Amino acid sequence: MKADDDTYIRLESLVASLRPLPREDLYYGYVIPCPSMDPFVHYMSGMGYLVSWDIAVWLKDSEIPKKHLEGPEDKVFGDWIREGRRGKNRFNAKWSMYNFPEPPTRCTHELWPDTIAVHLLKNQEKWIRTLNYFNVTSNLKPSKLYHIP
Protein backbone atom coordinates (compact mmCIF):
# COMPACT_ATOMS: atom_id res chain seq x y z
CA MET A 1 0.00 0.00 0.00
CA LYS A 2 1.06 3.53 -0.75
CA ALA A 3 -0.29 6.35 1.41
CA ASP A 4 0.34 10.06 1.77
CA ASP A 5 2.05 11.25 4.95
CA ASP A 6 -1.06 13.26 5.84
CA THR A 7 -3.27 10.15 5.89
CA TYR A 8 -4.21 8.31 9.07
CA ILE A 9 -4.84 4.62 8.33
CA ARG A 10 -6.75 2.42 10.75
CA LEU A 11 -4.98 -0.87 10.12
CA GLU A 12 -7.57 -3.14 11.75
CA SER A 13 -10.32 -1.61 9.60
CA LEU A 14 -8.15 -1.86 6.49
CA VAL A 15 -7.38 -5.53 7.14
CA ALA A 16 -11.05 -6.33 7.81
CA SER A 17 -12.07 -4.65 4.54
CA LEU A 18 -9.44 -6.63 2.60
CA ARG A 19 -10.20 -10.05 4.10
CA PRO A 20 -13.06 -10.97 1.71
CA LEU A 21 -11.37 -9.55 -1.40
CA PRO A 22 -9.39 -11.46 -4.06
CA ARG A 23 -5.67 -11.84 -3.40
CA GLU A 24 -4.65 -11.37 -7.04
CA ASP A 25 -4.97 -8.56 -9.57
CA LEU A 26 -6.37 -6.26 -6.86
CA TYR A 27 -6.47 -2.44 -7.07
CA TYR A 28 -8.10 -0.93 -3.98
CA GLY A 29 -8.67 2.62 -2.74
CA TYR A 30 -10.74 5.78 -3.03
CA VAL A 31 -11.96 6.40 -6.57
CA ILE A 32 -11.31 9.81 -8.13
CA PRO A 33 -13.17 12.11 -8.85
CA CYS A 34 -15.13 12.49 -5.61
CA PRO A 35 -18.64 11.90 -7.06
CA SER A 36 -17.55 8.74 -8.90
CA MET A 37 -18.25 5.34 -7.39
CA ASP A 38 -16.99 3.28 -10.35
CA PRO A 39 -13.41 2.03 -9.78
CA PHE A 40 -13.04 1.14 -13.48
CA VAL A 41 -13.46 4.67 -14.87
CA HIS A 42 -10.55 6.65 -13.44
CA TYR A 43 -8.01 5.83 -10.72
CA MET A 44 -7.55 5.65 -6.95
CA SER A 45 -6.70 8.78 -4.96
CA GLY A 46 -3.15 9.29 -3.77
CA MET A 47 -4.41 9.50 -0.18
CA GLY A 48 -3.85 5.75 -0.15
CA TYR A 49 -4.24 2.84 -2.51
CA LEU A 50 -3.27 -0.80 -2.42
CA VAL A 51 -2.38 -3.39 -5.04
CA SER A 52 -1.91 -7.12 -4.69
CA TRP A 53 1.57 -8.60 -4.69
CA ASP A 54 1.32 -9.87 -8.28
CA ILE A 55 0.75 -6.28 -9.48
CA ALA A 56 3.73 -5.06 -7.43
CA VAL A 57 5.93 -7.68 -9.11
CA TRP A 58 4.52 -6.77 -12.53
CA LEU A 59 5.34 -3.09 -11.87
CA LYS A 60 8.94 -4.01 -11.07
CA ASP A 61 9.35 -5.96 -14.31
CA SER A 62 7.15 -3.99 -16.71
CA GLU A 63 8.44 -1.42 -19.18
CA ILE A 64 5.20 0.59 -18.87
CA PRO A 65 6.15 2.53 -15.71
CA LYS A 66 9.61 3.27 -17.06
CA LYS A 67 8.11 5.03 -20.10
CA HIS A 68 5.59 7.17 -18.18
CA LEU A 69 6.94 8.99 -15.13
CA GLU A 70 5.55 12.52 -15.43
CA GLY A 71 2.39 13.81 -13.78
CA PRO A 72 0.45 13.41 -10.55
CA GLU A 73 1.57 10.15 -8.93
CA ASP A 74 -1.90 8.67 -8.42
CA LYS A 75 -3.05 9.45 -11.96
CA VAL A 76 0.18 8.11 -13.46
CA PHE A 77 -0.15 4.93 -11.39
CA GLY A 78 -3.72 4.53 -12.64
CA ASP A 79 -2.46 4.95 -16.22
CA TRP A 80 0.08 2.16 -15.67
CA ILE A 81 -2.63 -0.16 -14.35
CA ARG A 82 -4.93 0.64 -17.27
CA GLU A 83 -2.22 0.33 -19.95
CA GLY A 84 -0.99 -2.94 -18.46
CA ARG A 85 -4.54 -4.29 -18.23
CA ARG A 86 -4.05 -4.93 -14.52
CA GLY A 87 -6.39 -4.50 -11.58
CA LYS A 88 -9.30 -6.54 -12.88
CA ASN A 89 -10.41 -6.79 -9.25
CA ARG A 90 -11.01 -3.17 -8.30
CA PHE A 91 -12.63 -2.09 -5.08
CA ASN A 92 -13.73 1.37 -4.05
CA ALA A 93 -13.38 1.94 -0.29
CA LYS A 94 -15.34 5.21 -0.45
CA TRP A 95 -16.75 6.45 2.03
CA SER A 96 -14.66 4.59 4.59
CA MET A 97 -11.71 6.50 3.16
CA TYR A 98 -12.24 10.26 3.01
CA ASN A 99 -10.77 13.71 3.46
CA PHE A 100 -10.84 15.42 6.87
CA PRO A 101 -14.26 17.07 7.37
CA GLU A 102 -12.99 20.65 7.37
CA PRO A 103 -13.29 22.51 5.16
CA PRO A 104 -16.36 20.64 3.89
CA THR A 105 -16.26 19.58 0.24
CA ARG A 106 -17.77 16.81 -1.88
CA CYS A 107 -14.83 14.62 -0.72
CA THR A 108 -15.48 15.00 3.02
CA HIS A 109 -17.85 13.90 5.73
CA GLU A 110 -17.74 13.77 9.52
CA LEU A 111 -15.42 11.32 11.24
CA TRP A 112 -17.23 8.02 11.80
CA PRO A 113 -16.52 4.61 13.33
CA ASP A 114 -16.32 2.63 10.05
CA THR A 115 -13.30 4.64 8.89
CA ILE A 116 -10.37 3.04 7.09
CA ALA A 117 -8.43 6.24 6.32
CA VAL A 118 -8.67 9.98 6.93
CA HIS A 119 -6.74 12.21 4.53
CA LEU A 120 -5.57 15.85 4.54
CA LEU A 121 -4.38 15.93 8.15
CA LYS A 122 -2.25 18.95 7.29
CA ASN A 123 -1.67 20.27 10.79
CA GLN A 124 -1.27 19.11 14.39
CA GLU A 125 -4.84 20.12 15.34
CA LYS A 126 -6.36 17.88 12.64
CA TRP A 127 -4.16 14.95 13.70
CA ILE A 128 -5.11 15.45 17.37
CA ARG A 129 -8.84 15.68 16.60
CA THR A 130 -8.67 12.53 14.47
CA LEU A 131 -6.61 10.51 16.96
CA ASN A 132 -8.86 11.64 19.83
CA TYR A 133 -11.99 10.64 17.91
CA PHE A 134 -10.67 7.10 17.46
CA ASN A 135 -9.31 6.97 21.05
CA VAL A 136 -5.85 6.17 19.71
CA THR A 137 -3.92 8.06 22.37
CA SER A 138 -6.21 7.53 25.39
CA ASN A 139 -4.05 4.77 26.93
CA LEU A 140 -0.64 6.30 26.20
CA LYS A 141 1.51 7.17 29.18
CA PRO A 142 3.02 10.67 29.20
CA SER A 143 6.54 10.97 27.83
CA LYS A 144 9.26 13.49 28.55
CA LEU A 145 10.39 13.17 24.93
CA TYR A 146 7.51 15.13 23.40
CA HIS A 147 4.83 17.62 24.28
CA ILE A 148 1.31 17.52 22.87
CA PRO A 149 -0.98 20.32 24.08
- The range of the structural domain enclosing residue 31 comes to 1-137
C-alpha count within 13 angstroms, C-beta hemisphere, residue 85: 0
How far is the C-alpha of 21 from the C-alpha of 34, rounded, in Å? 23
Q: Please provide the distance, in angstroms rounded to a whole number, between the alpha carbons at the two ends of the chain.
A: 32
Predicted structure pTM score: 0.88
- 146 assigned to some structural domain: no
Residue 145 lies in a domain: no
Q: What is the mean pLDDT of the chain?
A: 93
35 falls within a domain: yes
Give a yes or no: residue 30 inside a domain.
yes
pLDDT, tens digit only, all 149 positions of the chain: 999 999 999 999 999 999 999 999 999 999 999 899 999 999 999 999 999 999 999 999 999 999 999 999 999 999 999 999 999 999 999 999 999 999 999 889 999 999 999 999 999 999 999 999 998 877 777 777 766 55
Q: How many domains does the chain have?
A: 1
- Per the domain annotation, does 144 fall within a domain? no
Predicted pLDDT at 107: 87
